[in-house]
Structure 1
Amino acid sequence: MSPHNRIALVTGAGSGIGAACATALLKDGWRVVFTGRRADALQAAIAAAGDPFGDIAERAAAIPSDVGDEHSVAALFEQVKARFGRLDLLFNNAGISLPPTTPDELDAATWRRAVDTNFNGAFFCLSQAFKLMRAQRPMGGRIINNGSISAHAPRPGSIAYTATKHAITGLTKTAALDGRPFDIAVGQIDIGNVASDMTARMVAGVPQADGTVRPEPRMQMSSLTDTFMAMARLPLTANVLFMTVMATKMPYVGRG
């Protein structure tokens, strides 16, 4: 592989899935903007990625942003445009999960925090990506939204997280349709139990639909990044609208 001029932006890139996918893009030759709330975490993620082509200072940028704030997102995309001139891929990855709770125990502020980050943030970034991608030449680009297994089936006590991930599915379907005239391909990757800090509790045990608490298997991060890169590398004449990648033995398919 060798460097090329395709530009990617990854939200929530300071750790976990975001850092892993941003690193995979760098190693594939992309120029990558790492964004998230903490500048130190973004810089650490870039340092951990290594320097496969000897030009990391030119091909990786850490730009802090709060995706839940539309003004912060607008400023982020202005910086992307100023530095790189275009955007070829947006990975809408930033999100938060919450401790299990029933609807009556979930306060309004926590609900809004989940919606602002998981859903509003995805829309703000997608909206700005559309604005840039339809105006640039060559026109177009790809947007991959991070959904979840919860975009299809909920876990007990996950009403805020699950509702936002169902909303992401609606965002993906509509944006995929609206992007057609502008050569903007929009798809969604739904992930189940990838090994990361967010899923560490699954090793000890998590609540199941039958009322029990049981450990769940996890898959390696490389299984996710390989799947993600297969979507990212597609020409704009092809699109993976929905992709599910999951630990083979996790309790998702069937009764639970």
Structure 2
Amino acid sequence: MKTIIVTGASAGIGRATAELFLDEGWTVGLLARSADTLATMANGRSNAVPLPADVTEPEAVSGAFNRFLDKAGRLDVLFNNAGIFAPGGTIDEIALEDWYQSVNVNLNGMFLSAREAFRIMRHQTPQGGRIINNGSIAAHVPRPNSVHYSATKHAITGLTRSLSLDGRDFGIACGQIDIGNARTQMVQGLVDNAIAAGEQPDPTMAVEDAARSVLHMASLPAEANVQFMTVMATTMPYIGRG
């Protein structure tokens, strides 16, 4: 049975992805802060492993990955997904607390999770595995008034490239999925804000289509890797959104 840890598994893209992998028979580590939500998701599913933890806390992340390894025996894939979209504005309007929190979750949290996955994959037998980072369209083309989100997501592209290079000697592949406007609670908030401002909101797509894209990336043989995938609402503005 293949194994995967999904961070940010309690909501949005992470939850849709975790539930799809569970349905496909994978052993799935459900990592998020909400222990109650994870317990509900795991109820009646013997292949679900709840891992309540905060991705910004190094010891909590290490402990969660070790608990999964004890339960599942190995880690084939990490879907490195946990992230936030803090209140926006121009750079002089964004609260420093929101900047620091964005960096802590969107960058430090993904670094810590990738670090633990890399360690496990490097030392397990057979050696190797796959890390899939959730970037964003904003990893390449920013939304207006989102310098904190865009900067952290651009950093994830650098993380992906570095892991892809450094993992070669250990059979560790790393790819990135950049998702544009999957219908999640976070995106719905952006839609609601646009409507409230009298603007036309961007088109959205079903979050399940994003999850199926992650499944495709995760299911490839070790000799193949999707380095970057962009999946987005068909008519979503992508080039020159500003």
Shorter-chain TM-score range? over 0.9
Instruction: Let me know the Cα RMSD of the aligned residues.
Output: 1.7
SS at match of 2:155: helix
1:79 is aligned to 2:75 = no
SS at match of 2:158: helix
Partner Cα separation in structure 2 for residue 13 and residue 112 of structure 1 = 22
The percentage of counterpart residues that share the same residue type is: 48
Structure 1 unmatched runs, 5+: none
Residues 50-199 of structure 1: pairs in structure 2 closer than 5 A: 56-57=45-46, 59-199=47-187
- Matched AA of 1:250: M
What TM-score, normalized by structure 1, do the two folds share?
A: 0.89
Aligned residue pairs, count? 241
Partner Cα separation in structure 1 for residue 6 and residue 219 of structure 2 = 15
- Matched AA of 1:121: G
SS at match of 2:28: strand
1:34 matched residue in structure 2: 30
- Matched AA of 2:202: E
2:213 matched residue in structure 1: 227
- Matched AA of 2:179: I
1:241 is aligned to 2:227 = yes
Partner Cα separation in structure 2 for residue 198 and residue 29 of structure 1 = 28
Go from structure 1 to structure 2 and tell me whether the alpha carbon gap of 1:255 and 1:158 turns closer, same or farther (over 3 Å shift).
closer
What TM-score, normalized by structure 2, do the two folds share?
A: 0.94
- Matched AA of 2:234: T
Please report how far the alpha carbon of residue 205 of structure 1 lies from its aligned counterpart in structure 2 after TM superposition: 5.3
Q: Which has the higher contact order (CA 8 A, sep 6+)?
A: 2
SS at match of 2:92: helix
Runs of 4+ deviating beyond 6 Å = none
Contact 1:202 1:217 in 2 (8 A): no
Please report how far the alpha carbon of residue 255 of structure 1 lies from its aligned counterpart in structure 2 after TM superposition: 5.9
Please report how far the alpha carbon of residue 254 of structure 1 lies from its aligned counterpart in structure 2 after TM superposition: 4.7
Please report how far the alpha carbon of residue 253 of structure 1 lies from its aligned counterpart in structure 2 after TM superposition: 2.8
Partner Cα separation in structure 2 for residue 212 and residue 178 of structure 1 = 47
Structure 2 unmatched runs, 5+: none
Please report how far the alpha carbon of residue 108 of structure 1 lies from its aligned counterpart in structure 2 after TM superposition: 2.3
Partner Cα separation in structure 1 for residue 17 and residue 57 of structure 2 = 23
2:4 matched residue in structure 1: 8
